[in-house]
Amino acid sequence: MKRIVQFILPTLAILFIWSCKESSWADPSVNDNSTPMPVEKAVVVENFSGGASIKFALPKSSNALYVQAEYDVGNGKIFKQKTSIYNDTIHVDGFVKAGGFDVQLYAVSRAEQKSTPITIKVNPTDPPFSYAAKTAQIRSDFGGILVQLDNPVKAALAAVILKKNTDGKWSAVKTDYSAEKQIVFNVRGMKAEETTFGLTIRDKYQNFSDTVEWTGIPELEEEIDKKKIVKLSGLPTDQGEDYGWAMERLWDGNLATGFHTKEYPPAGMPQWFTFDLGQEVSLSRFVINQRLDIYMYSHGNPREFELYGSIEQPLAADDKVDVWDPKWQSLGHYEVIKPSGQLPGINSAVDIDLAKKGHEFNFPPGTPKVRYIRFKVVSAWAAGFFHLMELTLYGQNEKK
C-alpha cells in the first residue's frame, strides 16, 4: 500500500503542475480585443519600378503581431501586404503606373484587431510591364517577327502576341514567358504577306500594358533543301562514323536513322563534323532530333554544342594549315535543356514530348549567309562520343 501511495502522490503533483501550466499556456494577447496603438512613424526609403519600400516604427508597448499595408494600385483594386513586427520595412508593389499613391499602414494584434491607420504617399516609377511595352522593338523576321524588350529589374513578364484577322478582331498567336533583363523571342509560322501584329505585356498581378501595334511583311522562311547537303571530309578533328551510322543520315528525313561517332575507344570531347549545304543560304533556325527510348537525354545525345559557318570553301587537313581556319564564323553556342531538370534516365512527360518533337534553336539576328557548316559537340549527356538522328535547317534557299 505504501508503495502505491508513493507512486500516486508524485503523479498527482505532476498532473497538478501540468494543469496549472496548461491554464496559463494560452497567450492572453490572443483574447485581447483592445485596439493596438497605431504605427508611430513611417518613411519611404525607396521608390522603385511599380512599387516602394516603407520603413516604420511601432510604440514600444504595442501589442501588435504584424503591420499591414493597404493601397489602391491605380485601377480600383485594393492590395494588402503584411510583415512581422520583427521587421521594420514593408514593401508595396503591383501599381499599374508611375505616380503618387496613398498607402495606409495598420498595426494588427493577435486577435486581428486593427489600429487606426496612418497614411503615407509613395511614388513608384513606371512598372516593369509598362516599361517593357514602351521599349518594345518589333521587326520582320523569317516566317514572322522578332520582338525585343527591356526588362531591367528582371520581373516575371508574359509577352502576348496578337494577330489582327481580316474581320479586324485580334487573336492570340503566342505567349512568351521570361524574367530576363533583355527579352528576345520570335514568332514563326506566318505567311510572307502584310500582317498587323499586336503586343501586350502582362505581369504576375494580371496588369496589362496598352497594345503595341506593328504592321509589316514577314520574311519568307523555308526548309533548307536537304537534297543538296553533302558530307565534307578531311578537316582536322572531324570524327568518323561507327556502327554504319553515316553522317549523311542526318539529313535523310528519317528519324529512325542517324549519325554515330566512334564509341570504342571514345575520342572524348569536343568532337566535330562538317558538311556542305550545296548552296549559299540565309539561316533563321534549326532543329535537332536526339536518339530516343533508353538513350533520351543520356548516353551520346549532344547536350552542349556550337555551330560555325563559312561562305568560302574551308581548308582541309592536307592543306598544311593550323587546325582552325579563320574563314569559320561563329553561328552560336547552344544547349539542350531538359524541362524537368531530372538526372539522365528520369524523364517527365514534358521531357519526352519535347524530345519527340525535336529541339529548336534560333540563329542570332544578322547571321551572315553561309554554305559550309561545322558542328562542334562540346559535351554529350553521358558519353565521350555522340549520336544524333536528324538535323533540319530553316531560312532561305539560294535563289537562281
Answer for the pair 187, 147: CB distance below 8 angstroms, yes or no. Answer: yes
Is the pLDDT at 208 greater than 50? The verdict is yes
The SS3 assignment for 298 reads: coil
Q: Quick one: pLDDT at residue 176?
A: 94
Task: Identify whether 3 is part of a domain.
Answer: no
Check whether residue 242 and residue 381 sit in a common domain: yes
Check whether residue 187 and residue 309 sit in a common domain: no
Report residue 148's pLDDT band, with 50, 70 and 90 as the boundaries: very high
Task: Identify whether 17 is part of a domain.
Answer: no
Task: Identify whether 20 is part of a domain.
Answer: no
Work out how many domains the chain is built from and give that number: 3
The SS3 assignment for 319 reads: helix
CATH number at residue 180: 2.60.40.10
Check whether residue 248 and residue 363 sit in a common domain: yes
Check whether residue 363 and residue 381 sit in a common domain: yes
pTM of structure = 0.74
Is the pLDDT at 318 greater than 80? The verdict is no
Q: How far apart are CA 64 and CA 93, in angstroms?
A: 23
Phi, psi of 29 (to 5 degrees): -70, -20
Phi, psi of 357 (to 5 degrees): -75, -30
Query: Identity (one letter) of the amino acid at 72?
Result: D
Over residues 79-91, the pLDDT tens digits come to 999 999 999 999 9
Domain final residue, candidates 154, 188, 219 = 219
Q: Quick one: pLDDT at residue 366?
A: 87
Is the pLDDT at 114 greater than 90? The verdict is yes
How far is Cα of residue 350 from the mean position of the Cα atoms in its chain? 16
Please state the rounded mean pLDDT for residues 361-383: 93
Nearest to 286 by CA among 384, 117, 142: 142
Strand 271-289 with 230-231, pairing: antiparallel
Report cis status (omega within 30 of 0) of the bond before 270.
yes
Is the pLDDT at 16 greater than 50? The verdict is no
Report residue 375's pLDDT band, with 50, 70 and 90 as the boundaries: very high
Helix (H) and strand (E) counts in the chain:
3, 24
Domain final residue, candidates 201, 219, 237 = 219
Check whether residue 83 and residue 188 sit in a common domain: no
For 296, the domain range is: 223-396
Check whether residue 190 and residue 287 sit in a common domain: no
Q: Quick one: pLDDT at residue 325?
A: 74
- State the chain's mean pLDDT as an integer: 89
Distances (CA, A) of 252 to 236, 245, 390: 25, 12, 8
Task: Identify whether 215 is part of a domain.
Answer: yes
